[in-house]
């Protein structure tokens, strides 16, 4: 019986393993390192988080993204240079090599609660007993296809999670559904890849994070009123990001409400110049039904006033 089993080897799983290893707590960690980032995010993507807010964490803080970029000769700035998907994925792999060399690239197929802990079954048939289980699986297993598209095969409808290589869409006509960073960023990158793409969103307006102003320092009043944080410059965001151990003492109903209403769907500032005025967009439209006609998808969308468009 080990103290802890960690399922998932992305930024969170690797960081947790580094802390447990340093503390002498017996653990095992399972998963492919940085798998979602290396296999399920579109090539060419830029992270929404600033450089200073994109670190994996080991207890001493000795290997930040800044440190990795300095070693590799990659340009870095806390806020003004966006972090590329490729850089972040390589940073995660380097972190794994240094701090989590005991990562086991196996999949956990089931978890069963026992009176004294948990029983994990691996894809190689092995059984593992652990007092605690840490799930660090990210968003990998939560992709959702709206009901309006449920009758279409994977030839005609897929989730953004399925696409790392975008060359397959060159010369094709594609509608991207959504108003968040994944939808907007994917549509912009598809356009760059030679795809005839348009974006359809229920929201009446698309939101983008504001970008930095190179060489311009915020005033003292701006820094006091909206202090910088990993979630963006805002005093509430600073509290949520830096004081989670206080946040968790809030009543559950309040915590759930705050998570629901804080921030929300928004694309990174690097997507804005690749999207606005370039990618055709229909906002305030909800997909109502989709059918295949002549080898193409005929999509009917409905606006808030009940009018339809095909």
Enter the DSSP assignment of 204: S
| Whether residues 160 and 273 fall in one domain | yes
Torsion sign, CA atoms 177, 178, 179, 185: negative
| pLDDT tens, N- to C-terminus, the chain (310 residues) | 999 999 999 999 999 999 999 999 999 999 999 999 999 999 999 999 999 999 999 999 989 999 999 999 999 999 999 999 999 999 999 999 999 999 999 999 999 999 999 999 999 999 999 999 999 998 878 889 999 999 999 999 999 999 999 999 999 999 999 999 999 999 999 999 999 999 999 999 999 988 887 777 888 888 888 898 988 888 999 999 999 999 999 999 999 999 999 988 899 999 999 999 999 999 999 999 999 999 999 999 999 999 999 9
If one counts the domains in the chain, the total is 3
Q: Is residue 229 assigned to a domain?
A: yes
* Of 81, 93, 83, 78, nearest in space to 39 by CA: 93
Beta-sheet pairing, 308-309 with 296-303: antiparallel
Using CA atoms, how far residue 51 sits from 77, 93, 125, 127, in Å, is 6, 17, 41, 40
| Whether residues 202 and 92 fall in one domain | no
Q: Is residue 212 assigned to a domain?
A: no
Give the residue carrying structure tokens 């594609």.
174
| Whether residues 30 and 177 fall in one domain | no
| Whether residues 153 and 295 fall in one domain | yes
Phi and psi, residue 128, nearest 5°: -130, 135
Residue 288 host element (H or E): strand 285-293
**Burial class of residue 34 (count of CB atoms within 10 Å of its CB; 0-12, 13-18, 19+):** buried
Q: Is residue 191 assigned to a domain?
A: yes
Contact 275, 209 (CB under 8 A): no
Q: Is residue 255 assigned to a domain?
A: yes
* Residue that is last in its domain, among 111, 135, 159: 135
| Whether residues 186 and 286 fall in one domain | yes
| Whether residues 60 and 199 fall in one domain | no
> What range does the domain containing 228 cover?
220-261
Q: Is residue 213 assigned to a domain?
A: no
* Of 213, 218, 205, nearest in space to 267 by CA: 205
| Whether residues 197 and 91 fall in one domain | no
Contact 197, 187 (CB under 8 A): yes
In the three-class reduction of DSSP (H, G, I as helix; E, B as strand; rest coil), residue 90 is classed as helix
| Whether residues 301 and 167 fall in one domain | yes
> E strands of 56-206, at which residues?
108-114, 117-122, 127-135, 173-177, 196-200
Counting every residue written for the chain, the total comes to: 310
**Distance in Å from the first CA to the final CA of the chain:** 59
In the three-class reduction of DSSP (H, G, I as helix; E, B as strand; rest coil), residue 159 is classed as coil
Domain containing residue 84: CATH number: 3.50.50.60
| Whether residues 129 and 182 fall in one domain | no
Q: Is residue 35 assigned to a domain?
A: yes
Q: Is residue 252 assigned to a domain?
A: yes
Q: Which two tokens stand for residue 113?
A: 């609660």
| Whether residues 163 and 271 fall in one domain | yes
The model's pTM = 0.91
| Whether residues 10 and 120 fall in one domain | yes
Give the residue carrying structure tokens 């964490």.
57
| Whether residues 305 and 166 fall in one domain | yes
């Amino acid at each position: 019986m080990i103290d802890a089993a960690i399922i998932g080897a992305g930024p969170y799983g690797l960081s947790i393993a580094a802390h447990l290893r340093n503390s002498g707590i017996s653990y095992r960690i399972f998963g492919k390192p940085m798998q979602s980032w290396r296999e399920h995010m579109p090539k060419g993507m830029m992270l929404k988080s600033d450089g200073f807010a994109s670190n994996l964490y080991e207890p001493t803080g000795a290997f930040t993204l800044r440190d990795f970029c300095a070693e590799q000769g990659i340009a870095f700035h806390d806020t003004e240079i966006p972090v590329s998907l490729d850089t972040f994925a390589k940073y995660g792999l380097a972190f794994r090599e240094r701090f989590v060399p005991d990562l086991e690239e196996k999949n956990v197929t089931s978890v069963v609660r026992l009176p004294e802990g948990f029983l994990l079954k691996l894809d190689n048939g092995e059984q593992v007993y652990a007092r605690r289980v840490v799930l660090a699986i990210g968003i990998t297993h939560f992709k959702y296809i709206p009901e309006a598209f449920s009758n279409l095969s994977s030839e005609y409808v897929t989730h953004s999670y399925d696409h790392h290589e975008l060359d397959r869409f060159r010369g094709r006509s594609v509608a991207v559904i959504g108003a968040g960073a994944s939808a907007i960023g994917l549509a912009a990158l598809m356009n760059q890849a030679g795809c005839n793409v348009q974006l359809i969103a229920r929201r009446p307006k698309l939101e983008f994070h504001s970008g930095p102003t190179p060489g311009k320092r915020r005033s003292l009043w701006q820094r006091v009123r909206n202090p910088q944080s990993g979630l963006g410059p805002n005093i509430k965001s600073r509290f949520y990001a830096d004081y989670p151990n206080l946040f968790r003492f809030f009543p559950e109903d309040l915590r759930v409400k705050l998570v629901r209403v804080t921030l929300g769907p928004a694309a990174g500032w690097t997507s804005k110049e690749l999207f606005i005025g370039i990618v055709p967009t229909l906002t305030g439209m909800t997909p109502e039904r989709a059918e295949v006609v002549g080898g193409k998808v005929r999509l009917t969308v409905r606006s808030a006033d009940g009018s339809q468009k095909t």
